[in-house]
Amino acid sequence: MTAILVIITVIFFITIDYLVYRKKGTALVQIARDTVENQSTQISKPSIISEEDISLPNGVFLHPKHTWAYVLKSGHVKIGIDSFISKIVSGIDKIVLPPIGTEIKKGQPILNLFSKERSLKLISPIDGKVVSVNEALMSNPELLNDPYNAGWSVIIQPSNLAKDISLMKISEEAIKILKNEFKRFKEFVINYGNGNKLGLQTLQDGGVPVTGILTALDKSKWDLFQKEFLNLEL
């Protein structure tokens, strides 16, 4: 009889342990699911662009058509796109840079961005010869999210540096240009892109665009943006 009671007691505690751990396991699975769902929501939710996000580092010269130039100690000039372009564009499939040795004139295309059937061409702010290109950028377009560092485009040996630089802006003057362009772009989206569906709040709330908003526009609007903001006839 004692042996039977012992066996029953053992079975009882084993059953209790099983039910407790099963309940804990179910709770842990649910917690894991909730965590994944919350993380997915956070990742998919686009972030808004504020004027503070439109920046330019010290020592960087800005061309009004959204490319920048930085003079290296070697005398060569590093070139890339500004933060205005990097914030409003996403989903870039391909980036094309000129081959090393290419002679570039100021105002000629130096960087081509492609997204499906749409494209943008950005111009060189100076004259010169291409001596280096950012191979990492071409293989990983997401580096454009860091436009002044890992997302630089080319390095040029300048031929008219003093003249070209004198026509560009730096510091507070350059930031003022970028912020004005940001305001002008908000009007562009409202006028041509059905702003409320593209992440813009109402005009009474200030009309705040989200990152990558240009990508939501079709090819005709990309072409119009090219003409109005990048000054290239297609």
* pLDDT at site 93: 92
* pLDDT at site 200: 53
Q: What is the pTM of this model?
A: 0.74
Using CB atoms within 10 Å of the CB of residue 147, give its burial: 0 to 12 exposed, 13 to 18 middle, 19+ buried. buried
For residues 34 and 84, membership in a common domain is answered with no
Grade residue 80 by pLDDT with cuts at 50, 70 and 90: very high
Within a 10 A sphere around the Cβ of 104, how many other Cβ atoms?
22
Let me know if residue 199 belongs to a domain: no
- Per-residue model confidence as pLDDT tens digits over 84-106: 999 889 889 999 999 999 999 99
Instruction: Find the domain containing 94 and state its range.
Output: 61-168
User: Looking at 168, 188, 208, which one is the last position of a domain?
Assistant: 168
For residues 98 and 148, membership in a common domain is answered with yes
What whole-number distance in Å separates Cα of residue 12 and Cα of residue 7? 9
Q: Considering the chain, what percentage of its residues have pLDDT values greater than 70?
A: 69
User: Looking at 115, 139, 168, which one is the last position of a domain?
Assistant: 168
For residues 19 and 106, membership in a common domain is answered with no
Within a 10 A sphere around the Cβ of 82, how many other Cβ atoms?
25
The CA dihedral of 149, 226, 48, 57, to the nearest 10 degrees, is 30
For residues 99 and 17, membership in a common domain is answered with no
Let me know if residue 28 belongs to a domain: yes
For residues 33 and 123, membership in a common domain is answered with no
For residues 71 and 163, membership in a common domain is answered with yes
- Per-residue model confidence as pLDDT tens digits over 36-76: 344 433 334 557 666 666 778 999 999 999 999 999 999 99
What whole-number distance in Å separates Cα of residue 178 and Cα of residue 51? 9
CATH code for the domain in which residue 138 is found:
2.40.50.100
Query: How many domains are contained in the chain?
Result: 2
For residues 156 and 92, membership in a common domain is answered with yes
Let me know if residue 194 belongs to a domain: no
CB 115 within 8 A of CB 91: yes
* pLDDT at site 192: 77
For residues 67 and 32, membership in a common domain is answered with no
Q: Tell me the average pLDDT across 125-139.
A: 97
For residues 76 and 105, membership in a common domain is answered with yes
For residues 154 and 76, membership in a common domain is answered with yes
